[in-house]
Amino acid sequence: MPENSDIVPLLIHGFLDQGAAWAPFIDELGPLAERALAPDFAGAGTRARERGPFTLRRVAADAAALIDQHSDAQFVVLGHSMGGQVAELVAQARPERIAALVLMSAVPLAGQVLPDEVRGLLRGCGGDVEAQRRIHRMFSRHLSDADLDRMLDPTAMMGPAAAEGYYNAFSAGDASGKGPSTFAGPPLLLAAREDPVVSVEMTLSMRESRFPGSDFAVVEESGHWPHLEQPQRCAQAILAFLSSHGLA
């Protein structure tokens, strides 16, 4: 097992988000904070002007390339929402480099079909600040105005093509998610108590079918963005998991 100094958290954001949204959570990671990497998807954040394709496999390939740039490190890959799907694909692509996997309010890798009215809202919200603000308010419980302002910078938010493409991507999922996970390291499945998108029950079902025996924790008083709504509680749960496996 690598020494603590060699552990790098790789934080994979979710649909409509960007790497900068991880800032409050990173501040709670203690000694691991200075090594944390929080890249943007193509079409989001510093890469907002990049063109498609906007797919899970493309995001995973970009993350794997980032891992390759740090040849002496081992990674804790943490994926939120759609980023959980990406995190699983990264673990498949670079299994020897991944020390632990954390899936936070994670969409199942096999995909997730949402109700028609939600599908239309999400697919069509690209580039629309007020529509994305409504979505974040709808699916969260404790996001502050400062959180929303940071996430909804018009120059960095997902535009129409990226929002539609990534919605289609996470809905369809990946065929490798239809069977048990092949990840050999320790996984943590982290749910949020009040998440209306990925419920505690959905996370437990994924644990039973794909990650039997994995670590499991619930962040209280949080909707779909536990790393923003309860960054300290979220970080404490993850650090406790890493410590139990000799990684923090």
Question: Could you tell me the residue ranges of all domains in the chain?
Answer: 4-244
The residue ranges of DSSP E strands in 123-202, in sequence order, are 187-192
pTM, entire model? 0.95
> Collapsing DSSP states into helix, strand and coil, what is residue 10?
strand
For the cut 70, the answer to whether the pLDDT of residue 67 exceeds it is yes
Residue with tokens 């493409």: 165
pLDDT score for 150: 83
Query: Is 223 in contact with 195 (CB distance < 8 Å)?
Result: yes
Mean pLDDT score, 160-175 = 97
Q: Single out the residue of 46, 52, 48, 41 nearest to residue 15, CA to CA.
A: 41
Rounded to 5°, angle at Cα 207 from 201 and 210: 130
Give me the chain's average pLDDT, please.
95
For the cut 70, the answer to whether the pLDDT of residue 192 exceeds it is yes
Give the pLDDT band (50/70/90) at residue 141: very high
CATH number of 4-244: 3.40.50.1820
Classify strands 215-219 and 74-80 as parallel, antiparallel or unpaired: unpaired
Rounded to 5°, angle at Cα 148 from 236 and 40: 75
Give the pLDDT band (50/70/90) at residue 2: very low
For the cut 70, the answer to whether the pLDDT of residue 5 exceeds it is no
Counting residues of the chain whose pLDDT is more than 70, the rounded percentage is 98
